[in-house]
A and B are shown apart, each in its own frame.
Chain A
């Protein structure tokens, strides 16, 4: 063994393992024999009668349902919402930001005004207003019958994600488009589209990756907040936010009902942050040179 054996980066390994494991569990939960149905109630567990590490891995809840199973199914919904909304937010916000930063002038003023307004609104108010509108839309119009609460919450969160992402991308684009390699590309006859895709976009990636990973974490918490306020998806489907909210009144008798989903949320948010940080550093090919 040489003296320079590579030291294992345990936080990253743990974070990746947690996220991968959780995702696999969440999306194969229907087929795994050891995970009960999220709505399946067992008589022996009614009234929080079973604590953690009994026949119920993380205890049972008021209705005798398995907290572990509900956490896993909750992860499925929470992760899906967070991932989809960060994707929509990044594509829309990133495009707006690149247009504002690259073309400037009127487009920049319009987009900056829009992001400033969005950032000035209290996010919870926007979320409540928009989910309410989406509910009305679904009820009144045949064309929007697909707009379940899962989708409406996804859209709400992506709307909230657009403004901060657009702002970061705009600032980055502004600074990159002042660099001489962009001028060089222009002098070689490259069109705007080519400059944006070949010269600017690759240089946006590293900053974006870390923003996206922290963004997922923020959105997970935001979804929890919405669920806590009652703006969550249809009963009885669990999300982490709902689990925390619905069991919190019994925290003295049965702490596991609230704390276990909190721990899951905490570990997941932390893992996304650790990974985002690590990936950003991996991408950093001598940032000083950029």
Chain B
């Protein structure tokens, strides 16, 4: 599991196509590196929502930032609207980036505490000098109203005078002002109360329809991802494990990691027995990742093959793709002679 390969990429009009994305960070001056993202590929069709799930530290957020080229990935192609972002530099890069926007996890940290909320939302228009002052104001008012923030109040308040949920709405407004086509939501609701989470998720759904957005939704909360995503990709230690439509993935996970992940969703019923198939231990260090399949150290079905050979993404039927030698269903991967 946790393999490479591009079998799951679709032909056709993808808004975003990421191929073999690699992001590494040096560890001080030791010469070692953190393999945050190690060659993942995926695509997002126009109007689709792709969910990316995985535990903390598996490289979800780094993937999102790698798409934005903040920081630039070490290798791999990020083709957005037919344009490879990793080849752009300087002002072309800045211009292209405006079509992709991010919403961050911490609603308070993502807003500059010393500026008025309205100025924060207006900032993108100011950077790009879009339209006249009156047009800018009209745009800001409209977007603020769309996310449910009173423009009057926004003009005179700073971020700390708003609640967490409201701050997240303000972040969303800022990301929408430039009329982007892709929004990368990096755990947008994990810092919020459950009741507020639902409001923000509904808002995102509404805005997606109203603004014709395509979304990448990064989260560790599987229930949240299930509802909002069309397609879900599961990550483990910088690699993709499994890609499938949301319903299919939740109904019959093929990857052992996905299975364990789904089993670990807590059920609010004390009489229900604890789910089976829990795994022990911590994920291995991304500085020295395991050979072969990166999940083999914790996998219940690991074999010698898993320790030596990295599994490739393959179709196990019905657009369900898994990178595993011995998936829960769909049969073992054929042994390739060349490897």
Contact = CB atoms under 8 A, between A and B. Distances in A.
A203 B160 CA distance: 14
Nearest to A194: B127
B91 to A, nearest CB: 9
A8 interface: no
A191 B115 CA distance: 18
A152 B70 CA distance: 46
A179 B127 contact: no
What range describes how many residues of B lie at the interface? 20 to 34
A202 B111 CA distance: 13
A180 B94 contact: no
Interface stretch (B44-52, B95-103, B287-295): B95-103
A4 interface: no
A183 B110 CA distance: 8
Contacts of A187: 68, 70, 97, 100-102
A181 B171 CA distance: 9
A259 B65 CA distance: 63
Nearest to B108: A289
B44 to A, nearest CB: 17
A285 interface: yes
Contacts of B65: 183
Given A189-B98, A191-B94, A289 B159 contact: yes
Contacts of A189: 94-95, 97-98, 124, 127-128
Interface in B298-315: none
B320 interface: no
B101 A190 contact: no
Contacts of B104: 180, 183-184
B99 to A, nearest CB: 10
A186 interface: yes
A199 interface: yes
B168 to A, nearest CB: 12
Contacts of B326: none
Interface string A167-188: 0000000000001110111111
A180 B95 contact: no
Contacts of B160: 285-286, 289
A198 B128 CA distance: 15
A183 B174 CA distance: 13
Nearest to B102: A187
Central interface residue in A184, A203, A289, A290, by most chain B CB within 10 Å: A184
Contacts, number: 72
Contacts of A191: 94
Contact of B110 (A184, A186, A190, A205): A184
Nearest to A179: B109
A185 B128 CA distance: 12
B221 interface: no
Contacts of B112: 181, 185, 198-199, 202-203
A181 B100 CA distance: 16
Contact of B109 (A180, A190, A199, A205): A180
Contacts of A190: 123, 127
A28 B115 CA distance: 40
B33 to A, nearest CB: 17
Given A184-B110, A186-B70, A202 B115 contact: yes
B178 interface: yes
B114 A285 contact: yes
A183 B102 contact: yes
A190 B123 CA distance: 9
A188 B123 contact: yes
A185 B114 CA distance: 14
Interface in B156-197: 158-160, 171, 174, 178
Interface of A: 179-181, 183-191, 194, 198-199, 202-203, 205, 285-286, 289-290
Given A180-B104, A188-B174, 7 more contacts: A187-B97, A188-B123, A189-B127, A194-B127, A285-B113, A286-B113, A289-B113
6 contacts: A179-B109, A181-B110, A189-B94, A189-B98, A199-B112, A202-B115
Closest 3 A/B residue pairs (Cβ): A180-B110, A189-B94, A202-B114
